A and B are shown apart, each in its own frame.
Chain A
Amino acid sequence: NAGVMQNPRHLVRRRGQEARLRCSPMKGHSHVYWYRQLPEEGLKFMVYLQKENIIDESGMPKERFSAEFPKEGPSILRIQQVVRGDSAAYFCASSPRLAGDPQYFGPGTRLTVL
């Protein structure tokens, strides 16, 4: 049973480009969480999704950021028109069923905006 997969592991974008980060949850997990770790800061919650539904996006910036978790395929975190301040490590976690179930973390995607 593979763990949470994230790709790419490293992503470099120029200012104004789009970044797409992918997260494949563990098999059988239907809940996905995205977290961001800015340089020299702790992890912060961004969004919580179930299949085809955004449950809680209270941690997402209001503009340029969006997330989805389609019925088939990985969860996608999309950042439009990236800026240097978006440079961070983005971690995905998944859990089996209920919001209270333990979360399992992916290896993260390190985004660098030039």
Chain B
Amino acid sequence: KNEVEQSPQNLTAQEGEFITINCSYSVGISALHWLQQHPGGGIVSLFMLSSGKKKHGRLIATINIQEKHSSLHITASHPRDSAVYICAVQPNTGNQFYFGTGTSLTVIP
């Protein structure tokens, strides 16, 4: 069983749609990260959360520590949002991150 589960694995949306990607985890964490990876590209950190909600432009990330769940929302999606979105958790103990397998998002014009 993976420590981090993401859903959906693949997502296709029409430009302008509201998008939600979910992440559930099974370990106690000090922080949760949402990462973005474009095809053939590097990784960009979008958010780091330990509680509540953060907003950056059209992106919103929320976390519920009690339920061990986080969501990433994209409002008014755009084709340039097409990428793989990865949830990563930083456990309370140990040195490594645990990663979800990613959600591949395609936004169609």
* A interface residues with partner B (beta carbon < 8 Å): 33, 35, 41-45, 48, 55-56, 58-59, 91, 93, 99-100, 102-108, 110
Contact = CB atoms under 8 A, between A and B. Distances in A.
A33 B42 contact: no
Contacts of A102: 31, 33, 45, 48, 90
A107 B33 CA distance: 17
A35 B88 CA distance: 12
B86 interface: yes
A44 B99 contact: yes
Interface of B: 30-31, 33, 35, 40-45, 48, 86, 88, 90, 94-102
Contacts of B97: 33, 35, 43, 45, 93, 103
A106 B101 CA distance: 19
A104 B96 contact: no
A55 B40 contact: no
B42 A104 contact: no
Contacts of B30: 100
Nearest to B92: A100
Contacts of A56: 94-96
A45 B31 CA distance: 17
A42 B101 contact: yes
A45 B3 CA distance: 13
Contacts, number: 57
Contacts of A105: 35, 42-45
A75 to B, nearest CB: 15
A42 B45 contact: no
10 nearest A-B residue pairs (beta carbon): A107-B42, A45-B96, A42-B101, A43-B99, A105-B43, A48-B95, A56-B95, A42-B99, A108-B42, A99-B95
Contact of A107 (B41, B98, B100): B41
Contacts of B33: 102-103
8 contacts: A45-B95, A45-B98, A91-B42, A93-B97, A102-B33, A103-B97, A108-B42, A110-B40
